[in-house]
């Protein structure tokens, strides 16, 4: 157990739908990062939050949004889903010493 918890582990949904992925960071870590891993794009950085505030944005689509709550857990919202959004979505957290720890991921399948 890495200490970073992601739920659900698997998600199957239809095109056009909206889903929410959840991440609980490792205890004490203030930063949360979201990554998307697909066969054609590899591991792509989506967005980072630090203590509730957005800190960095990567190649995140406008249909996607995220937030970090006061208890530091984070949610990634994916809407108007397309077949191409099927991927593994990873959350990572880091603390002051900068060690990134990844969760086991959520596998999203859009049908």
Q: Which of 69, 99, 109, 111 binds other proteins (CB under 8 A)?
A: 99
Nearer to other proteins, 79 or 95 (CB): 95
- The encoded tokens of residue 70 equal 């006061």
Q: Does 98 bind other proteins (CB under 8 A)?
A: yes
Q: Rule CB under 8 A: which of 12-71 touch other proteins?
A: 30-31, 33, 42-43, 45, 48, 50, 55-56, 58
What are the strands, taking DSSP E only, across the chain?
A: 5-7, 10-13, 19-24, 31-38, 42-50, 53-57, 64-68, 74-78, 87-94, 101-102, 106-110
Give Cα 25 distance to the centre of its chain: 11
Contacts to other proteins by CB under 8 A: 2, 30-31, 33, 42-43, 45, 48, 50, 55-56, 58, 90, 92, 94, 96, 98-105, 107
């Amino acid at each position: 157990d890495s200490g970073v918890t992601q739920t659900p582990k698997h998600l199957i949904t239809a095109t056009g739908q909206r889903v929410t992925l959840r991440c609980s960071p490792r205890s004490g870590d203030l930063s949360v990062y979201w990554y998307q891993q697909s066969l054609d794009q590899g591991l792509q950085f989506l967005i980072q939050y630090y203590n509730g505030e957005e800190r960095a944005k990567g190649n995140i689509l406008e249909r996607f949004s995220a937030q970090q709550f006061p208890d530091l857990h984070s949610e990634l919202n994916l809407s108007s889903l397309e077949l191409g959004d099927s991927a593994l979505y990873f959350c990572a957290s880091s603390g002051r010493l900068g060690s990134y720890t990844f969760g086991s991921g959520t596998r999203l399948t859009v049908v």
